[in-house]
């Protein structure tokens, strides 16, 4: 009688933990081994491309951050609200700008030049200074920009211009600076 080709594998009882036990292979038997899997070598970019992309974008973010830190662009802002009066006529068409990464500084642009001097003003809350600003002379991707090292401008406090003295007041809910012909007021919207 011919012998069966395959011998039935004896079943082992399951472990109490629910896992099957493996029987040790006897020393004289031939165990079939699978050959090691060889990695297919492709283009070198596949191996280091991801790391290079991460390094590139990290370097780009650092450079962009440094540019913004040293030359912050000015963005329009609606808070605080800016009003001004020139020769007794009250207006609300002034534009307020805030530089990126400088939360204590404001720049105010009047819609047209008044008295050949008054077009831009700068306000620094930290130092409580209001000044006549010559205007931003730089740009950052098309936006007006300043340099951190630039001076604020001509300080208005106790300054005599147009035959009158400027008065500057920093109050809890507003900032007011005025002389005999022009008065500018920044006030918080939240009341």
Q: What is the mean pLDDT of residues 139-149?
A: 87
Q: pTM of this prediction?
A: 0.68
**Mean pLDDT for the chain?**
82
Domain extents in the chain: 74-187
> Cα separation of 29 and 40, whole Å?
33
> Cα separation of 164 and 155, whole Å?
15
Q: What pLDDT was estimated at residue 184?
A: 94
Residue 110, pLDDT > 70, answer yes
Tokens of 49: 């491309």
- Number of Cβ within 10 Å of residue 44's Cβ equals 8
Beta bridge partners of 21: none
| Pairing relationship of beta strands 138-140 and 143-145 according to DSSP bridges | antiparallel
Q: What is the mean pLDDT of residues 125-154?
A: 88
Question: Between 79 and 34, whose confidence is greater?
Answer: 79
Q: What pLDDT was estimated at residue 60?
A: 95
| DSSP codes of every residue in 13-78 | PBPTTS-BPPPPPPTTSPPP-PPPPPPPP--HHHHHHHHHHHHHHHHHHHHHHHHHHHSPBEEEE-
Tell me the longest C-alpha to C-alpha distance in the chain.
Answer: 129
pLDDT digits (tens, 9 = 90+) for 43-102: 666 677 788 889 999 999 999 999 888 889 999 998 899 999 998 899 999 999 999 888
Determine the distance from the C-alpha atom of residue 187 to the mean position of all C-alpha atoms in its chain, rounded to a whole number: 26
Residue 189, pLDDT > 80, answer no
Q: How confident is the model at residue 116 (pLDDT cuts 50, 70, 90)?
A: confident
Residue 175, pLDDT > 80, answer yes
């Amino acid at each position: 009688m011919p012998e069966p080709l395959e011998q039935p594998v004896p079943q082992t009882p399951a472990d109490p933990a629910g896992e099957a036990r493996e029987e040790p292979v006897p020393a004289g038997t031939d165990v079939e081994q699978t050959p090691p899997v060889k990695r297919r070598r492709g283009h070198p970019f596949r191996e280091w491309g991801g790391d290079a992309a991460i390094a590139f974008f990290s370097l780009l973010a650092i450079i962009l951050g440094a540019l913004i830190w040293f030359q912050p662009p000015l963005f329009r802002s609606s808070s605080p609200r800016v009003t001004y009066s020139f020769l007794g006529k009250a207006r609300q068409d002034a534009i307020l700008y805030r530089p990126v990464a400088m939360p204590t500084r404001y720049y105010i642009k009047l819609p047209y030049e008044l008295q050949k001097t008054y077009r831009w003003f700068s306000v620094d809350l930290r130092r409580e200074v209001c000044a006549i600003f010559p205007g931003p002379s730089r740009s950052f991707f098309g936006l007006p920009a300043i340099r951190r090292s630039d001076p604020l401008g001509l300080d208005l406090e106790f300054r005599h211009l147009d035959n009158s003295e400027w008065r500057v007041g920093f109050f809890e809910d507003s900032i007011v600076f005025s002389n005999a012909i022009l008065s500018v007021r920044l006030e918080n919207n939240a009341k």
